[in-house]
């Protein structure tokens, strides 16, 4: 395993055909704030996060994941990582340089083993953010992202070997084997997770709420506004976090969560959780088992951006 090069998750960038519908959902319904727009690009921030933005939306003819962005400590780490990836045969999309977009910074992009675009950057200016007040039903920050991979063992190995991720826990089925690997780059239980799936795609994006009350208020606000819940509210065993899943206008699954476990990395030992145990999926018993519809929606469409760099 390589040394840890990354510090945290910055943002997830997506492209969609119906730009206006997507933008309206994430600002009016989901609770993000548009901080900048450049033609067919919109940058949306979580009010409680110092990150310049948590989601970038781009107008495109086909739905795709543009990239997942992670932070690094400084420019030295960015340069070291780019050199290490290049000499290891990882396909770089760009060499380290000034990052274009809100907050600037210094970074580069590359393809992971599944063909997703990953960006790593440092020295991005912090955004003027604020404390989310009691009762506010809006996200504090982007919590984590889960992606589907045809071979999660290979994907896990890539992120461990090249980026320094560590395994926190595994979800497995007695007959089907390993279904999810939950991976971390700091003491938060998972920053990214890999789900076994038929193709490469986004499984879901998760946003942290201030606390249980705000999580429930946010869930209720969406329900009152006519956005049906896909699954939840409930509380997972893995990560001990709450969950309420919804669909955005283009069929991407998005989650409200809170209280994701912060662990002691020196003493933590990964466990294997049984997917057939009802307590694994929902400790509260309020959400019910994952339905075939939920499972299907989380598989998502085949990603059109595999091994294709976004134009911006």
Give the number of domains in the chain. 2
Does the pTM surpass 0.85? The reply is: yes
Is residue 77 assigned to a domain?
Answer: yes
CA distance 146 to 298: 9
Span 283-306, pLDDT tens digits: 999 998 899 999 999 999 999 999
153/289 same-domain check: yes
Q: Could you tell me which residues come within 8 angstroms of residue 175 by beta carbon, excluding any fewer than 6 positions away?
A: none
- Residues 235-257, mean pLDDT to the nearest whole number: 98
Rounded to an integer, the average pLDDT of 8-31 is: 98
Tell me, yes or no, whether 111 and 149 share the same domain: no
Is residue 105 located within the same domain as residue 204?
A: no
In this structure, the answer to whether residues 150 and 295 fall within a common structural domain is yes
Residue finishing a domain among 95, 122, 149: 122
Domain span at 243: 141-299
Same domain, 108 and 197: no
Query: Residues of the chain with pLDDT > 70: what percent?
Result: 99
What is the arithmetic mean of pLDDT over 272-290? 96
Boundary residue ending a domain (122, 153, 170): 122
Residue 310 lies in a domain: no
Q: In this structure, what CATH number is given to the domain that contains residue 118?
A: 3.10.180.10
- The dihedral sign for the CA sequence 90, 91, 93, 94: positive
The mean of the pLDDT values for the chain is: 97
Judgement on whether residues 149 and 34 belong to the same structural domain of the protein: no
pLDDT of residue 5: 83
Query: Are 156 and 226 in the same domain?
Result: yes
* For range 139-164, the mean pLDDT: 98
Report CA 235 to chain centroid distance, whole Å. Answer: 18
- What's the mean pLDDT in 123-146? 98
Are 27 and 78 part of one and the same domain? yes
Residues 75 and 208 in one domain: no
Residue 1 confidence class, pLDDT cut points 50, 70, 90: very low
Quote the pLDDT of residue 4. 81
Is the predicted pLDDT of residue 3 greater than 80, yes or no?
A: no
| Domain shared by 52 and 192, yes or no | no
249 preceded by a cis bond (ω within 30 of 0) = no
Q: Is 136 inside any structural domain?
A: no
Rg of the chain over Cα atoms, rounded to whole angstroms, equals 18
Last residue of some domain: 122, 149, 176? 122
Question: By mean pLDDT, which of 116-120, 146-150, 285-289 is the weakest?
Answer: 285-289
Co-location of 146 and 231 in the same domain = yes
Does 21 lie in the same domain as 145?
no
What pLDDT was estimated at residue 2? 59
């Amino acid at each position: 395993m390589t040394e840890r090069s990354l510090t945290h998750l910055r943002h997830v960038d997506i492209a969609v055909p119906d730009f206006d519908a997507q933008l309206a959902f994430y600002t009016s319904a989901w609770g993000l704030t548009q901080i900048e727009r450049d033609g067919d690009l919109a940058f949306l921030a979580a009010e409680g996060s110092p990150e310049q933005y948590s989601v970038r939306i781009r107008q495109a003819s086909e739905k795709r994941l543009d990239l997942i962005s992670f932070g690094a400590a400084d420019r030295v780490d960015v340069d070291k990582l780019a050199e290490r990836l290049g000499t290891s045969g990882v396909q770089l999309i760009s060499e380290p340089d000034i990052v274009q977009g809100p907050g600037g910074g210094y970074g580069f992009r590359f393809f992971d083993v599944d063909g997703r675009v990953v960006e790593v950057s440092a020295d991005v200016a912090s955004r003027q953010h604020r404390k989310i007040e009691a009762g506010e039903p809006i996200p504090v920050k982007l919590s984590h992202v889960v992606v589907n991979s045809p071979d999660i063992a290979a994907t896990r190995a890539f992120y461990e070997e090249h980026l320094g991720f560590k395994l926190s826990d595994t979800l497995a089925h007695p007959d089907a084997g390993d279904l999810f690997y939950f991976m971390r780059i700091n003491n938060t239980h998972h920053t990214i997770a890999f789900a076994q799936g038929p193709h490469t795609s986004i499984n879901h994006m998760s946003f942290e709420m201030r606390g249980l009350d705000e999580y429930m208020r946010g869930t209720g606000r969406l329900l009152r506004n006519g956005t049906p819940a896909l699954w939840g509210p409930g509380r997972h065993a893995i990560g001990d976090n709450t969950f309420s899943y919804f669909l955005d206008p283009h069929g991407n699954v998005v989650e409200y969560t809170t209280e994701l476990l912060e662990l002691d990395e020196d003493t933590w030992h990964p466990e294997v959780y049984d997917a057939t145990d009802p307590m694994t999926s929902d400790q509260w018993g309020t959400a019910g088992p994952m339905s075939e519809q939920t499972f299907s929606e989380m598989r998502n469409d085949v990603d059109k951006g595999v091994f294709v760099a976004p134009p911006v």
